[in-house]
Amino acid sequence: MKYYKHAFFTFLLLLSSLSFSQTTIYQFKVEDLMGETFDFEQYKGYKILIVNTASKCGFTPQYEDLEKLYETYKEDKFIIIGFPSNDFLKQEPGTNEEIAEFCKANYGVTFPMMNKIHVKGDEQCEIYQFLTDENLNGVSSEKVKWNFQKFLINRDGTLEKVIPSKTSPLDASIVDWIKEN
């Protein structure tokens, strides 16, 4: 019996010494549309909306509302980060340069846009693996269902909510979330 108590105590001691720090968005560095390194670490303490985008989708006009949202709340430590993807019916066929021009010319996008990536499948990029796998983000596992799906990251750098593509960026569920401390 004494051995089991000692073994149990040793197990508890070992368990308490392990670090259970949750993975955050801040560990990621990605490439933007211009080929520059974008380090999420620079946005510690911000609320972050991550969205996968496409220029030939029925939801493409959401760029306009995303830009309005960004302009309204960027001074409140809020940022939107767009990730173009061609994963859904080839609705983002352009090059990074063409995507940058399209976003600026048609919607006046000023929020950061990243390099075109895969948000699903075997080639899913690392940041979207994090966003869609509970084992990595500690919150939920949810597949990217379509273009303009939104992932809300809280000020601690952890995933808080996933918002469907059809939900407007100006919907109260998003605006209220930004306004919460």
The residues annotated with a catalytic role in the active site are 57
Instruction: For residues 25 and 176, give the distance between their C-alpha atoms in angstroms, rounded to a whole number.
Output: 22
The distance from CA 54 to its chain's CA centroid, rounded to whole angstroms, is: 15
Paired with 78 in beta bridges are 47
Angle between helices 62-73 and 172-179 (to 10 degrees): 20
| Contacts by 104-108, CB closer than 8 A, 24 or more apart | 106/63, 107/63, 107/64, 107/67, 108/67
Q: Pairing relation of β-strands 150-153 and 37-39? A: unpaired
The widest CA-to-CA distance across the chain, in whole angstroms, is 75
> How many residues are given for the chain?
181
Paired with 85 in beta bridges are 117
